[in-house]
Structure 1
Amino acid sequence: MNALKVIKKEEYTIVQMNRGKVNAINYAMVQELRQVFRDIENDSSVKGAILTGQPHYFSAGLDLIELFQYDKRQIKDFFRVFGALFIELMHITKPVISAITGHAPAGGCVLAVASDNRIMADGGQYIIGLNEVAVNIQISQNLIETYAFWIGGGLASRYIMEGKLLNAEEALSAGLVDELVPLEQVLPMAEARMQHYLKADQEILVNTKRKLRKNLLARLDMDAENSLKEAATLWWKPEIRTKMEAYVKSFTNKKKV
Protein backbone atom coordinates (compact mmCIF):
# COMPACT_ATOMS: atom_id res chain seq x y z
CA MET A 1 0.00 0.00 0.00
CA ASN A 2 1.42 3.38 -1.03
CA ALA A 3 -1.39 5.69 0.06
CA LEU A 4 -2.67 3.83 3.13
CA LYS A 5 -1.34 2.50 6.39
CA VAL A 6 -3.34 -0.47 7.64
CA ILE A 7 -3.16 -1.23 11.37
CA LYS A 8 -4.78 -4.48 12.46
CA LYS A 9 -6.11 -4.61 15.99
CA GLU A 10 -7.58 -7.66 17.71
CA GLU A 11 -11.08 -7.38 16.23
CA TYR A 12 -10.99 -4.27 14.06
CA THR A 13 -8.79 -2.51 11.53
CA ILE A 14 -7.57 1.08 11.42
CA VAL A 15 -7.18 2.42 7.89
CA GLN A 16 -5.02 5.53 7.91
CA MET A 17 -4.83 7.61 4.76
CA ASN A 18 -1.18 8.42 4.30
CA ARG A 19 -0.69 10.15 0.95
CA GLY A 20 1.42 13.26 1.37
CA LYS A 21 0.57 16.01 3.82
CA VAL A 22 -3.10 16.43 2.91
CA ASN A 23 -4.21 12.98 1.70
CA ALA A 24 -5.40 14.25 -1.68
CA ILE A 25 -7.41 11.56 -3.44
CA ASN A 26 -6.23 10.17 -6.79
CA TYR A 27 -7.02 7.03 -8.80
CA ALA A 28 -4.45 4.85 -7.06
CA MET A 29 -5.63 5.88 -3.60
CA VAL A 30 -9.24 5.10 -4.47
CA GLN A 31 -8.30 1.63 -5.67
CA GLU A 32 -6.31 0.98 -2.48
CA LEU A 33 -9.27 2.05 -0.36
CA ARG A 34 -11.58 -0.23 -2.32
CA GLN A 35 -9.29 -3.22 -1.84
CA VAL A 36 -8.73 -2.64 1.88
CA PHE A 37 -12.41 -2.27 2.65
CA ARG A 38 -13.26 -5.33 0.54
CA ASP A 39 -10.75 -7.27 2.61
CA ILE A 40 -12.29 -5.94 5.83
CA GLU A 41 -15.80 -6.87 4.72
CA ASN A 42 -14.75 -10.38 3.70
CA ASP A 43 -12.62 -11.17 6.77
CA SER A 44 -14.78 -12.78 9.45
CA SER A 45 -12.18 -12.01 12.12
CA VAL A 46 -12.58 -8.25 11.51
CA LYS A 47 -15.73 -6.81 13.07
CA GLY A 48 -15.30 -3.14 12.23
CA ALA A 49 -13.07 -0.45 10.75
CA ILE A 50 -11.86 3.04 11.58
CA LEU A 51 -10.94 5.37 8.72
CA THR A 52 -8.60 8.16 9.71
CA GLY A 53 -6.03 10.59 8.36
CA GLN A 54 -2.94 12.43 9.55
CA PRO A 55 -2.71 15.32 12.02
CA HIS A 56 -4.62 18.34 10.66
CA TYR A 57 -5.89 16.53 7.55
CA PHE A 58 -8.40 13.72 7.20
CA SER A 59 -8.39 14.35 3.46
CA ALA A 60 -8.32 17.60 1.54
CA GLY A 61 -10.44 16.03 -1.21
CA LEU A 62 -9.66 15.19 -4.80
CA ASP A 63 -6.12 15.74 -6.06
CA LEU A 64 -7.13 18.34 -8.63
CA ILE A 65 -3.53 18.99 -9.63
CA GLU A 66 -3.12 15.37 -10.74
CA LEU A 67 -6.67 14.92 -12.03
CA PHE A 68 -6.36 18.01 -14.22
CA GLN A 69 -3.65 16.18 -16.17
CA TYR A 70 -5.82 13.10 -16.82
CA ASP A 71 -7.08 12.47 -20.34
CA LYS A 72 -10.74 11.69 -21.06
CA ARG A 73 -10.38 7.96 -20.51
CA GLN A 74 -8.48 8.45 -17.27
CA ILE A 75 -10.98 10.95 -15.83
CA LYS A 76 -13.88 8.68 -16.79
CA ASP A 77 -12.14 5.79 -15.05
CA PHE A 78 -11.45 7.92 -11.99
CA PHE A 79 -15.05 9.00 -11.52
CA ARG A 80 -16.21 5.43 -12.13
CA VAL A 81 -13.98 3.98 -9.41
CA PHE A 82 -14.67 6.87 -7.02
CA GLY A 83 -18.40 6.28 -7.46
CA ALA A 84 -17.84 2.57 -6.89
CA LEU A 85 -15.86 3.25 -3.71
CA PHE A 86 -18.70 5.33 -2.28
CA ILE A 87 -21.30 2.67 -3.10
CA GLU A 88 -19.13 -0.05 -1.59
CA LEU A 89 -18.54 1.94 1.59
CA MET A 90 -22.27 2.54 1.91
CA HIS A 91 -22.91 -1.22 1.70
CA ILE A 92 -20.33 -2.44 4.23
CA THR A 93 -22.24 -4.47 6.81
CA LYS A 94 -19.77 -3.87 9.65
CA PRO A 95 -19.52 -0.63 11.66
CA VAL A 96 -17.22 1.98 10.15
CA ILE A 97 -16.13 5.04 12.11
CA SER A 98 -14.44 8.10 10.61
CA ALA A 99 -11.82 9.59 12.94
CA ILE A 100 -11.57 13.02 11.33
CA THR A 101 -8.15 14.36 12.25
CA GLY A 102 -8.56 17.79 10.68
CA HIS A 103 -9.76 19.18 7.38
CA ALA A 104 -12.29 17.10 5.40
CA PRO A 105 -13.74 19.18 2.55
CA ALA A 106 -15.31 17.76 -0.63
CA GLY A 107 -13.87 14.28 -1.27
CA GLY A 108 -12.84 14.01 2.37
CA CYS A 109 -16.43 14.62 3.39
CA VAL A 110 -17.59 12.06 0.79
CA LEU A 111 -15.59 9.37 2.58
CA ALA A 112 -16.75 10.50 6.01
CA VAL A 113 -20.50 10.50 5.33
CA ALA A 114 -20.38 6.87 4.21
CA SER A 115 -19.40 5.85 7.74
CA ASP A 116 -21.67 5.20 10.73
CA ASN A 117 -20.02 7.70 13.06
CA ARG A 118 -17.85 10.76 12.64
CA ILE A 119 -15.61 11.99 15.44
CA MET A 120 -13.84 15.22 14.52
CA ALA A 121 -10.94 17.25 15.86
CA ASP A 122 -12.12 20.34 17.69
CA GLY A 123 -10.80 23.68 16.60
CA GLY A 124 -12.03 26.60 14.53
CA GLN A 125 -9.46 26.02 11.80
CA TYR A 126 -10.80 22.64 10.63
CA ILE A 127 -13.50 22.44 7.96
CA ILE A 128 -15.78 19.77 6.54
CA GLY A 129 -18.53 19.81 3.93
CA LEU A 130 -19.43 19.50 0.29
CA ASN A 131 -18.15 22.45 -1.72
CA GLU A 132 -18.35 20.77 -5.13
CA VAL A 133 -20.48 23.59 -6.59
CA ALA A 134 -17.90 26.13 -5.48
CA VAL A 135 -15.03 24.24 -7.15
CA ASN A 136 -16.99 23.42 -10.33
CA ILE A 137 -17.42 19.66 -9.84
CA GLN A 138 -20.82 18.08 -10.43
CA ILE A 139 -22.15 16.46 -7.26
CA SER A 140 -23.89 13.10 -7.56
CA GLN A 141 -27.43 12.24 -6.53
CA ASN A 142 -25.99 9.49 -4.32
CA LEU A 143 -23.98 12.01 -2.34
CA ILE A 144 -26.91 14.42 -2.05
CA GLU A 145 -29.13 11.65 -0.66
CA THR A 146 -26.50 10.59 1.87
CA TYR A 147 -25.71 14.13 3.03
CA ALA A 148 -29.41 14.76 3.54
CA PHE A 149 -29.70 11.48 5.47
CA TRP A 150 -27.37 12.88 8.13
CA ILE A 151 -28.25 16.59 8.31
CA GLY A 152 -31.77 16.75 6.86
CA GLY A 153 -33.03 17.77 3.44
CA GLY A 154 -33.38 21.49 4.10
CA LEU A 155 -29.88 22.04 5.43
CA ALA A 156 -28.37 19.74 2.81
CA SER A 157 -30.07 21.69 0.01
CA ARG A 158 -28.91 25.06 1.29
CA TYR A 159 -25.38 24.00 2.15
CA ILE A 160 -24.78 22.13 -1.12
CA MET A 161 -26.09 25.00 -3.25
CA GLU A 162 -23.84 27.43 -1.33
CA GLY A 163 -20.86 25.08 -1.45
CA LYS A 164 -20.66 25.70 2.27
CA LEU A 165 -17.79 24.36 4.33
CA LEU A 166 -18.58 24.02 8.02
CA ASN A 167 -16.21 24.52 10.91
CA ALA A 168 -16.19 21.85 13.61
CA GLU A 169 -18.82 23.51 15.79
CA GLU A 170 -21.15 24.08 12.84
CA ALA A 171 -20.70 20.46 11.76
CA LEU A 172 -21.62 19.25 15.25
CA SER A 173 -24.67 21.51 15.39
CA ALA A 174 -25.86 20.31 11.96
CA GLY A 175 -25.46 16.65 12.89
CA LEU A 176 -22.75 16.07 10.32
CA VAL A 177 -20.35 14.92 13.03
CA ASP A 178 -21.24 13.20 16.30
CA GLU A 179 -18.58 14.47 18.65
CA LEU A 180 -15.71 16.95 18.88
CA VAL A 181 -12.57 16.16 20.83
CA PRO A 182 -9.00 17.54 20.88
CA LEU A 183 -6.94 16.40 17.90
CA GLU A 184 -4.87 13.93 19.90
CA GLN A 185 -8.03 12.27 21.24
CA VAL A 186 -9.78 11.71 17.90
CA LEU A 187 -8.43 8.23 17.20
CA PRO A 188 -8.61 7.04 20.84
CA MET A 189 -12.24 8.18 21.01
CA ALA A 190 -13.02 6.35 17.76
CA GLU A 191 -11.41 3.22 19.18
CA ALA A 192 -13.49 3.55 22.35
CA ARG A 193 -16.63 3.81 20.23
CA MET A 194 -15.55 0.73 18.29
CA GLN A 195 -15.06 -1.19 21.54
CA HIS A 196 -18.67 -0.36 22.40
CA TYR A 197 -19.81 -1.85 19.10
CA LEU A 198 -17.72 -4.96 19.65
CA LYS A 199 -19.60 -5.72 22.87
CA ALA A 200 -22.88 -6.12 20.94
CA ASP A 201 -24.06 -9.37 19.40
CA GLN A 202 -22.54 -9.06 15.93
CA GLU A 203 -25.49 -10.58 14.08
CA ILE A 204 -27.86 -8.13 15.75
CA LEU A 205 -25.50 -5.23 15.01
CA VAL A 206 -25.22 -6.15 11.32
CA ASN A 207 -28.98 -6.64 11.00
CA THR A 208 -29.62 -3.30 12.67
CA LYS A 209 -27.22 -1.40 10.39
CA ARG A 210 -28.90 -2.97 7.35
CA LYS A 211 -32.34 -1.88 8.58
CA LEU A 212 -31.17 1.64 9.40
CA ARG A 213 -29.76 2.09 5.89
CA LYS A 214 -32.45 0.22 3.97
CA ASN A 215 -34.46 3.23 2.79
CA LEU A 216 -31.37 5.30 2.01
CA LEU A 217 -29.72 2.53 -0.01
CA ALA A 218 -32.95 2.03 -1.95
CA ARG A 219 -32.62 5.63 -3.20
CA LEU A 220 -29.05 5.25 -4.41
CA ASP A 221 -27.99 4.54 -8.00
CA MET A 222 -25.94 1.35 -7.78
CA ASP A 223 -24.44 1.83 -11.25
CA ALA A 224 -21.06 3.33 -10.33
CA GLU A 225 -20.34 4.58 -13.84
CA ASN A 226 -23.75 6.23 -14.17
CA SER A 227 -23.68 7.82 -10.71
CA LEU A 228 -20.84 10.19 -11.67
CA LYS A 229 -21.38 10.28 -15.44
CA GLU A 230 -22.32 13.96 -15.36
CA ALA A 231 -19.19 14.81 -13.40
CA ALA A 232 -16.99 13.08 -15.96
CA THR A 233 -18.75 14.85 -18.85
CA LEU A 234 -18.85 18.35 -17.36
CA TRP A 235 -15.19 18.06 -16.37
CA TRP A 236 -14.35 18.92 -20.00
CA LYS A 237 -16.65 21.94 -20.33
CA PRO A 238 -14.30 24.69 -21.63
CA GLU A 239 -15.23 27.35 -19.09
CA ILE A 240 -14.86 24.86 -16.25
CA ARG A 241 -11.46 23.77 -17.53
CA THR A 242 -10.36 27.41 -17.64
CA LYS A 243 -11.40 28.02 -14.04
CA MET A 244 -9.84 24.77 -12.89
CA GLU A 245 -6.57 25.56 -14.68
CA ALA A 246 -6.39 28.89 -12.88
CA TYR A 247 -7.08 27.17 -9.57
CA VAL A 248 -4.42 24.53 -10.19
CA LYS A 249 -1.84 27.17 -11.16
CA SER A 250 -2.58 29.27 -8.08
CA PHE A 251 -2.37 26.24 -5.82
CA THR A 252 0.87 25.08 -7.44
CA ASN A 253 2.40 28.53 -7.00
CA LYS A 254 1.45 28.54 -3.30
CA LYS A 255 3.24 25.21 -2.83
CA LYS A 256 6.40 26.71 -4.32
CA VAL A 257 6.45 29.64 -1.90
Structure 2
Amino acid sequence: MTEHILISQPEPGIALVELARGKVNAIDHRMYGELAEAFDRLSDDPTVNVAVLTGRGHVFCAGNDLNDFRTMDTTSGELQMRNVRRAMFNLIDCSIPVIAAVNGPALGSGFGLTASCDLVVASAKATFGLPEMNVGVLGGGRFTARMLPQQAMRRLFFTAEAVDAHTLERWGAPIEVVPHDVLMTTALTRARSIASKSRYALTLAKQSLNGCEGMDLKRGYELEQTFTVRLSEHPDSKTAVEARMAALTNGKNI
Protein backbone atom coordinates (compact mmCIF):
# COMPACT_ATOMS: atom_id res chain seq x y z
CA MET A 1 0.00 0.00 0.00
CA THR A 2 1.44 3.37 -0.99
CA GLU A 3 0.78 6.70 0.69
CA HIS A 4 1.72 9.16 -2.04
CA ILE A 5 1.27 7.12 -5.23
CA LEU A 6 -2.39 6.49 -5.95
CA ILE A 7 -3.31 3.80 -8.47
CA SER A 8 -6.79 3.26 -9.86
CA GLN A 9 -8.26 1.59 -12.93
CA PRO A 10 -10.74 4.02 -14.54
CA GLU A 11 -11.34 1.75 -17.53
CA PRO A 12 -10.53 -1.84 -18.44
CA GLY A 13 -6.87 -2.23 -19.31
CA ILE A 14 -5.92 1.30 -18.16
CA ALA A 15 -4.21 2.22 -14.88
CA LEU A 16 -4.19 5.79 -13.59
CA VAL A 17 -1.13 6.59 -11.47
CA GLU A 18 -1.35 9.84 -9.51
CA LEU A 19 1.48 11.63 -7.71
CA ALA A 20 -0.12 12.89 -4.49
CA ARG A 21 2.17 14.48 -1.92
CA GLY A 22 1.48 17.91 -0.50
CA LYS A 23 0.51 20.86 -2.67
CA VAL A 24 3.25 20.44 -5.30
CA ASN A 25 3.90 16.67 -5.33
CA ALA A 26 7.54 17.09 -4.30
CA ILE A 27 9.23 13.68 -4.08
CA ASP A 28 11.13 12.57 -0.99
CA HIS A 29 13.15 9.37 -0.56
CA ARG A 30 10.11 7.41 0.65
CA MET A 31 7.99 8.49 -2.31
CA TYR A 32 10.74 7.38 -4.71
CA GLY A 33 10.46 3.93 -3.14
CA GLU A 34 6.70 3.99 -3.64
CA LEU A 35 7.16 4.96 -7.29
CA ALA A 36 9.53 2.07 -7.88
CA GLU A 37 7.13 -0.38 -6.23
CA ALA A 38 4.13 0.98 -8.15
CA PHE A 39 5.69 0.42 -11.56
CA ASP A 40 6.94 -3.00 -10.51
CA ARG A 41 3.37 -3.96 -9.64
CA LEU A 42 2.00 -2.61 -12.91
CA SER A 43 4.60 -4.61 -14.82
CA ASP A 44 3.21 -7.78 -13.28
CA ASP A 45 -0.50 -6.92 -13.44
CA PRO A 46 -2.11 -8.92 -16.27
CA THR A 47 -5.25 -6.73 -16.18
CA VAL A 48 -3.41 -3.57 -17.24
CA ASN A 49 -2.08 -2.81 -20.74
CA VAL A 50 -1.16 0.86 -20.32
CA ALA A 51 -0.70 3.39 -17.53
CA VAL A 52 -1.34 7.14 -17.37
CA LEU A 53 0.91 9.08 -14.99
CA THR A 54 -0.29 12.46 -13.73
CA GLY A 55 -0.17 14.74 -10.70
CA ARG A 56 -3.01 15.32 -8.28
CA GLY A 57 -3.92 18.98 -7.97
CA HIS A 58 -2.48 21.81 -10.03
CA VAL A 59 1.15 20.60 -10.21
CA PHE A 60 2.48 17.52 -11.99
CA CYS A 61 5.64 17.34 -9.88
CA ALA A 62 7.84 20.14 -8.50
CA GLY A 63 10.87 17.85 -8.25
CA ASN A 64 12.71 16.65 -5.16
CA ASP A 65 11.72 17.65 -1.65
CA LEU A 66 14.40 20.22 -0.79
CA ASN A 67 14.55 18.95 2.79
CA ASP A 68 16.39 15.88 1.51
CA PHE A 69 19.15 18.12 0.14
CA ARG A 70 19.67 20.01 3.41
CA THR A 71 21.34 17.07 5.11
CA MET A 72 22.78 15.33 2.06
CA ASP A 73 26.45 14.36 2.07
CA THR A 74 28.44 11.91 -0.02
CA THR A 75 27.35 8.90 2.05
CA SER A 76 23.64 9.65 2.44
CA GLY A 77 23.53 11.18 -1.02
CA GLU A 78 24.62 8.01 -2.77
CA LEU A 79 21.91 6.02 -0.99
CA GLN A 80 19.31 8.61 -1.97
CA MET A 81 20.46 8.68 -5.58
CA ARG A 82 20.18 4.90 -5.79
CA ASN A 83 16.58 5.25 -4.69
CA VAL A 84 15.98 7.90 -7.36
CA ARG A 85 17.56 5.75 -10.06
CA ARG A 86 15.49 2.74 -9.06
CA ALA A 87 12.27 4.74 -9.41
CA MET A 88 13.23 6.25 -12.77
CA PHE A 89 14.50 2.99 -14.22
CA ASN A 90 11.46 1.05 -13.01
CA LEU A 91 9.31 3.57 -14.87
CA ILE A 92 11.38 3.24 -18.04
CA ASP A 93 11.48 -0.55 -17.71
CA CYS A 94 7.79 -0.93 -16.84
CA SER A 95 6.61 -3.75 -19.08
CA ILE A 96 3.66 -1.72 -20.39
CA PRO A 97 3.62 1.71 -22.08
CA VAL A 98 3.25 4.72 -19.79
CA ILE A 99 1.67 8.00 -20.87
CA ALA A 100 2.55 11.21 -19.02
CA ALA A 101 -0.44 13.53 -18.61
CA VAL A 102 1.37 16.68 -17.51
CA ASN A 103 -1.22 18.84 -15.78
CA GLY A 104 1.06 21.62 -14.45
CA PRO A 105 4.70 22.36 -13.61
CA ALA A 106 7.07 19.44 -14.22
CA LEU A 107 10.36 20.50 -12.69
CA GLY A 108 13.60 18.69 -11.94
CA SER A 109 12.74 15.09 -11.22
CA GLY A 110 9.23 15.86 -12.44
CA PHE A 111 10.73 16.56 -15.84
CA GLY A 112 12.74 13.36 -15.47
CA LEU A 113 9.56 11.37 -14.87
CA THR A 114 8.01 12.96 -17.96
CA ALA A 115 11.04 12.07 -20.09
CA SER A 116 10.93 8.49 -18.81
CA CYS A 117 7.41 7.92 -20.16
CA ASP A 118 6.63 6.53 -23.60
CA LEU A 119 4.18 9.25 -24.68
CA VAL A 120 3.61 12.76 -23.34
CA VAL A 121 0.38 14.75 -23.40
CA ALA A 122 0.78 18.18 -21.82
CA SER A 123 -1.69 20.82 -20.72
CA ALA A 124 -1.18 24.24 -22.26
CA LYS A 125 -0.76 25.35 -18.62
CA ALA A 126 2.18 22.99 -18.06
CA THR A 127 5.72 24.27 -17.59
CA PHE A 128 9.01 22.40 -17.73
CA GLY A 129 12.33 23.20 -16.14
CA LEU A 130 15.55 22.00 -14.52
CA PRO A 131 16.00 24.16 -11.37
CA GLU A 132 18.82 22.04 -9.94
CA MET A 133 21.51 24.71 -10.39
CA ASN A 134 19.45 27.10 -8.25
CA VAL A 135 19.38 24.71 -5.29
CA GLY A 136 22.99 23.52 -5.30
CA VAL A 137 22.60 20.14 -6.98
CA LEU A 138 22.94 18.62 -10.44
CA GLY A 139 21.08 16.01 -12.47
CA GLY A 140 18.27 15.76 -14.97
CA GLY A 141 20.21 16.57 -18.11
CA ARG A 142 20.50 13.02 -19.40
CA PHE A 143 16.80 12.34 -19.00
CA THR A 144 15.85 15.64 -20.63
CA ALA A 145 18.10 14.81 -23.59
CA ARG A 146 15.63 12.03 -24.44
CA MET A 147 13.19 14.79 -25.40
CA LEU A 148 15.27 17.78 -26.48
CA PRO A 149 18.33 18.62 -28.57
CA GLN A 150 21.49 19.20 -26.56
CA GLN A 151 21.52 22.99 -26.66
CA ALA A 152 17.85 23.26 -25.66
CA MET A 153 18.51 20.93 -22.73
CA ARG A 154 21.62 22.90 -21.75
CA ARG A 155 19.73 26.16 -21.82
CA LEU A 156 17.23 24.76 -19.33
CA PHE A 157 20.02 23.30 -17.24
CA PHE A 158 22.32 26.32 -17.01
CA THR A 159 19.66 29.00 -16.67
CA ALA A 160 17.39 26.94 -14.38
CA GLU A 161 14.50 28.83 -16.00
CA ALA A 162 11.26 27.02 -16.81
CA VAL A 163 9.51 27.27 -20.18
CA ASP A 164 5.91 26.62 -21.20
CA ALA A 165 4.69 23.55 -23.05
CA HIS A 166 4.41 25.30 -26.42
CA THR A 167 8.04 26.46 -26.17
CA LEU A 168 9.17 22.94 -25.37
CA GLU A 169 7.21 21.66 -28.36
CA ARG A 170 8.76 24.35 -30.60
CA TRP A 171 12.23 23.27 -29.47
CA GLY A 172 11.52 19.78 -30.75
CA ALA A 173 10.06 17.89 -27.80
CA PRO A 174 7.70 15.14 -29.04
CA ILE A 175 4.79 16.21 -26.85
CA GLU A 176 1.12 16.75 -27.60
CA VAL A 177 -0.01 20.09 -26.15
CA VAL A 178 -3.75 20.38 -25.53
CA PRO A 179 -6.10 22.79 -23.73
CA HIS A 180 -6.04 22.15 -20.00
CA ASP A 181 -9.69 21.08 -19.79
CA VAL A 182 -9.20 18.21 -22.27
CA LEU A 183 -5.87 16.93 -20.93
CA MET A 184 -7.19 13.77 -19.27
CA THR A 185 -9.70 13.15 -22.04
CA THR A 186 -6.88 13.21 -24.58
CA ALA A 187 -4.56 11.08 -22.46
CA LEU A 188 -7.29 8.48 -21.95
CA THR A 189 -8.04 8.47 -25.68
CA ARG A 190 -4.39 7.63 -26.37
CA ALA A 191 -4.50 5.04 -23.59
CA ARG A 192 -7.59 3.34 -25.06
CA SER A 193 -5.84 2.97 -28.39
CA ILE A 194 -2.94 1.22 -26.68
CA ALA A 195 -5.09 -0.80 -24.26
CA SER A 196 -6.93 -2.39 -27.21
CA LYS A 197 -3.73 -4.16 -28.26
CA SER A 198 -2.49 -7.54 -27.04
CA ARG A 199 -0.70 -7.20 -23.70
CA TYR A 200 1.84 -9.78 -24.81
CA ALA A 201 2.58 -7.76 -27.96
CA LEU A 202 2.85 -4.54 -25.94
CA THR A 203 5.33 -6.02 -23.49
CA LEU A 204 7.52 -7.37 -26.29
CA ALA A 205 7.32 -4.03 -28.10
CA LYS A 206 8.37 -2.17 -24.95
CA GLN A 207 11.34 -4.49 -24.41
CA SER A 208 12.30 -4.17 -28.05
CA LEU A 209 12.17 -0.37 -28.13
CA ASN A 210 14.02 -0.03 -24.83
CA GLY A 211 16.64 -2.49 -25.96
CA CYS A 212 17.41 -0.85 -29.29
CA GLU A 213 17.19 2.80 -28.13
CA GLY A 214 20.91 3.09 -27.45
CA MET A 215 22.06 0.95 -30.39
CA ASP A 216 23.18 1.86 -33.87
CA LEU A 217 20.82 1.19 -36.78
CA LYS A 218 22.17 -2.25 -37.73
CA ARG A 219 22.30 -3.76 -34.24
CA GLY A 220 19.02 -2.12 -33.22
CA TYR A 221 17.11 -3.48 -36.20
CA GLU A 222 18.59 -6.93 -35.69
CA LEU A 223 17.33 -6.87 -32.10
CA GLU A 224 13.87 -5.75 -33.22
CA GLN A 225 13.68 -8.63 -35.66
CA THR A 226 14.32 -11.15 -32.88
CA PHE A 227 11.27 -9.77 -31.07
CA THR A 228 9.25 -9.93 -34.29
CA VAL A 229 9.98 -13.65 -34.57
CA ARG A 230 9.08 -14.22 -30.90
CA LEU A 231 5.76 -12.41 -31.31
CA SER A 232 4.89 -14.20 -34.56
CA GLU A 233 4.73 -17.54 -32.73
CA HIS A 234 2.13 -16.27 -30.23
CA PRO A 235 -1.62 -16.86 -30.84
CA ASP A 236 -2.30 -13.11 -30.44
CA SER A 237 -0.13 -12.47 -33.49
CA LYS A 238 -2.07 -14.92 -35.65
CA THR A 239 -5.39 -13.48 -34.43
CA ALA A 240 -4.28 -9.96 -35.36
CA VAL A 241 -3.16 -11.03 -38.84
CA GLU A 242 -6.41 -12.87 -39.53
CA ALA A 243 -8.52 -9.96 -38.28
CA ARG A 244 -6.64 -7.54 -40.51
CA MET A 245 -6.94 -9.76 -43.57
CA ALA A 246 -10.67 -10.14 -42.95
CA ALA A 247 -11.04 -6.37 -42.71
CA LEU A 248 -9.22 -5.87 -46.01
CA THR A 249 -11.37 -8.53 -47.65
CA ASN A 250 -14.45 -6.63 -46.50
CA GLY A 251 -13.20 -3.50 -48.22
CA LYS A 252 -11.87 -1.55 -45.23
CA ASN A 253 -8.96 0.82 -45.85
CA ILE A 254 -5.44 0.00 -44.75
What TM-score do the two structures reach when normalised by structure 1? 0.74
Q: 1:54 aligns with which of 48, 53, 56?
A: 56
More RCO (CA 8 Å, sep 6+): 1
The letter for the 2-side match of 1:168 is: A
The letter for the 2-side match of 1:104 is: A
Identify if the C-alpha distance between structure 1 residues 60 and 146 changes in structure 2 by more than 3 Å, giving closer, same or farther.
closer
Structure 1 counterpart SS, 2:48: coil
Structure 1 counterpart SS, 2:185: helix
Name the counterpart of 1:102: 104
Sequence identity (%): 24
Cα deviations by residue, 1:116-172 (Å, 9 ceiling, x for unpaired): 11111113xx42122323332122xxx534322322334323433333422121122
Deviates more, 1:74-83 or 1:45-54: 74-83
Structure 1 counterpart SS, 2:13: coil
Q: 1:85 aligns with which of 79, 87, 97?
A: 87
1:178 deviates by: 1.5
Alignment of 1:142-157 (within 5 A): 143-157=140-154
Name the counterpart of 1:16: 18
What TM-score do the two structures reach when normalised by structure 2? 0.75
Cα deviations by residue, 1:68-110 (Å, 9 ceiling, x for unpaired): 2457654432211001111221212211011111011111111
Structure 2 gaps, min length 5: 217-254
Equivalenced residues, count:
214
Name the counterpart of 1:131: 131
Assess if the C-alpha contact under 8 Å between 1:102 and 1:183 holds in 2: no
Q: Which whole-Å CA distance do the structure 1 matches of 2:130 and 2:136 have between them?
A: 12
Name the counterpart of 1:181: 178
Assess if the C-alpha contact under 8 Å between 1:149 and 1:216 holds in 2: no
Name the counterpart of 1:4: 5
1:215 deviates by: 4.1
1:202 aligns with 2:199: yes
Q: Which whole-Å CA distance do the structure 2 matches of 1:130 and 1:204 have between them?
A: 35
Q: Which whole-Å CA distance do the structure 1 matches of 2:155 and 2:68 have between them?
A: 30
Q: Which whole-Å CA distance do the structure 1 matches of 2:71 and 2:145 have between them?
A: 32
Structure 1 counterpart SS, 2:24: coil
Identify if the C-alpha distance between structure 1 residues 25 and 94 changes in structure 2 by more than 3 Å, giving closer, same or farther.
same
Structure 2 counterpart SS, 1:50: strand
Q: Which whole-Å CA distance do the structure 1 matches of 2:211 and 2:162 have between them?
A: 28
Superposition RMSD on alpha carbons, in Å? 2.3
Assess if the C-alpha contact under 8 Å between 2:5 and 2:19 holds in 1: yes
Structure 2 counterpart SS, 1:49: strand
Assess if the C-alpha contact under 8 Å between 1:13 and 1:46 holds in 2: yes
